[in-house]
Amino acid sequence: MHVFLTGASGFIGKNLITYLLDRKCQLTCLVRDPQRLPEELRSEATLVVADLFTLGQEVIQALSQVDTIVHLAGQPWGHSYHDFDQVNRAGTANLVQAATTCGAAVQRFIYVSTIAAAGPALIGKPLTEDSAARPISWYGQSKLAGEQTLAATTFPWTVLRLPTVYGPYDQDVQRFFKLTKYHLSPRLQGNRPEISLIHVLDVCQAIWLILSKEQRPIATYFVNDGEAIHQFKDTLAMVAKTIGTWTVPIPIPAGFLWAGEQILALGQRVNVAPRRLTSDKLRELRQPAWTCASDLISRNLGYQPTMPLPKGLEHTFAWYRKAGWL
């Protein structure tokens, strides 16, 4: 199997390269900066240096030689809808058009999306593939728009919507490990945040199952770690247990997030807001539930998670320590 992979230098991409190489796949990776990939990965894959805005002849040539495409690249941060749209929708449309134009015999196009494309869930009611999409953030709206570009394709495609992903190379969940190391445990007041989680190796498993087993022309799947609902506070307690330390709860009033969202929205208008802490992200944080069920992918493709949360946190903590990240 010859896979064309975008987003290869990202957190999921680095893990997926190793996972697919172990399964004897041939890889061509679209990267903007090859130096962001570890040397051992750069030497094992064919690299094409470009981005989703400038898919030139080298990219067209590479696409003509592959049989599957895994589209991981995305823009999770931005100060305007345009920042997200130019990558998550327009960039996806460019890739689809390039794959169509070059006449590649694409057997499967996998678009790795996000639970944000569907919007938040209700407390105690995880989203399913039958849930109506109601994204509340620019990120979610642009990823849903990216999903919708696939409707015009002539080749089979699958959308994989991910909840919060963690594991080796991840810097977002790493921040909670760092807070825990310093005995701090943030607690959102005024709601009971529920989340779905998945270790990156189970994301890789889900992608591999789609590549190797999926026969349906089109499909959309949610995926999780085997438990649709984790309580945020319980997850932080498990991080503390994994590290072997104690924490002090730090209450965060619900009104603080709302006020922060308004202030950051004003800052974005004059281009002075932080790159990652944006009103868009605070709007997502204020929601009581980001949960999804993975029954359909388990039933259709035999997905069985291998990294329940305690095991996944132990694996991640061990990697952080070995890599010098903690």
The tens-digit pLDDT sequence of the chain (326 residues) is: 999 999 999 999 999 999 999 999 999 999 999 999 988 888 899 999 998 988 888 899 999 999 999 999 999 988 889 999 999 999 999 999 999 988 778 999 999 999 999 999 999 999 999 999 999 999 999 999 999 999 888 899 999 999 999 999 999 999 999 999 999 888 775 556 899 999 999 999 999 999 999 999 999 999 999 999 999 999 999 999 999 999 998 877 665 554 444 444 444 444 544 555 566 777 788 889 999 999 999 999 999 999 999 999 999 999 999 999 99
Across 79-89, b (16+ Cβ under 10 Å) vs e yields: bebebbbbbbb
- CATH number of domain containing 21: 3.40.50.720
Tell me, what's the pLDDT at 103? 79
The pair phi, psi for residue 75, each rounded to 5°, is -115, 105
Q: What is the pLDDT of residue 255?
A: 59
* 114, part of any domain: yes
Q: Which amino acid is at 160?
A: L
Q: Which residues contact 39 (CB under 8 A, 6 or more apart)?
A: none
Maximal C-alpha separation, the chain: 58
Dihedral sign for Cα atoms in the order 255, 139, 206, 13: negative
In a domain, 268, yes or no: no
Give residue 266's pLDDT: 43
Q: Is residue 45 part of a domain?
A: yes
Cα separation, 165 vs 170, in Å, equals 8
Nearest Cα residue to 132 out of 143, 144, 146, 142: 144
Q: pTM score, two decimals?
A: 0.92
What Rg, from alpha-carbon coordinates, does the chain have?
A: 20
Residue 122 lies in a domain: yes
Block residue for tokens 């999926």: 214
Rounded CA separation 189/292 (Å): 23
Q: Let me know if residue 271 belongs to a domain.
A: no
* Residue 192 is assigned to a structural domain of this protein: no
Q: What is the 3-state secondary structure (H, E, C) of the chain?
A: CEEEEECCCCHHHHHHHHHHHHCCCEEEEEECCHHHCCHHHHCCCEEEECCCCCCCHHHHHHHCCCCEEEECCCCCCCCCHHHHHHHHCHHHHHHHHHHHHCCCCCCEEEEEEEHHHCCCCECCECECCCCCCCCCCHHHHHHHHHHHHHHHCCCCEEEEEECEEECCCCCHHHHHHHHHHCCEEEEECCCCCEECEEEHHHHHHHHHHHHHHCCCCEEEEECCCCCCCEEHHHHHHHHHHHHCCCCEEEEECHHHHHHHHHHHHHHHHCCCCCCCCCHHHHHHHCCCEECECCHHHHHHHCCCCCCCHHHHHHHHHHHHHHHCCC
Residue 111 resides in a domain: yes
Q: What is the pLDDT of residue 270?
A: 41
Q: Give residue 324's pLDDT.
A: 95
Domain count, the chain: 1
What is the domain extent for residue 143? 2-170+198-225+291-306
Question: 316 lies in a domain?
Answer: no
CB atoms within 10 A of CB 65: 14
